[in-house]
Amino acid sequence: MTASDKDLARILRYAKSHCEDRCPADRDPEVCLALVQLCRALSVEPPVCVEETNGLTKSYFVAKIKEIERRKGKPIKEILKDFDSGIRNFEENVDKMEAEFALKAIKAIDERAAERSGQCK
């Protein structure tokens, strides 16, 4: 079975709308990266988060982690461990979601780069 680019673009637009409706609660960096890559390949406008995150770049996510570490005065692993004890307010909840996603995004970006260069995980 083969799908036309037109059908793939339709499915992408549908997936993008689902993504934008469910984000940030259900976001998955692997899916986000794949969705953006396919949008670019098929000339479909990517989700708005792409612009907000400088194209879902590793540098953006590294900077996001450093910003949270600077504000909290601790390494990110310690911050996340503190959050495991309980979230006290909305800002902490946002920081937790952002930090966890940033770490997963960095890992996903690195894994994709390794796959492209022929290295194993």
Would you call 92 helix, strand, or coil by DSSP? Answer: helix
- Each residue of 26-35: pLDDT tens digit? 889 999 999 9
- Each residue of 79-111: pLDDT tens digit? 999 999 999 999 999 999 999 999 999 999 999
- pTM score: 0.84
- The mean per-residue pLDDT over the stretch 5-33 comes to 87
Q: What six digits make up the tokens of 94?
A: 């946002």
CA distance 82 to 8: 43
CA distance 56 to 102: 10
- Each residue of 25-73: pLDDT tens digit? 788 999 999 999 999 998 989 988 899 899 899 999 999 999 999 999 9
Structure-token match 């900077």, residue found: 63
| Burial class of residue 42 (count of CB atoms within 10 Å of its CB; 0-12, 13-18, 19+) | middle
CA distance 104 to 53: 14
Domain ranges of the chain: 1-55, 57-121
Q: What is the pLDDT of residue 120?
A: 57
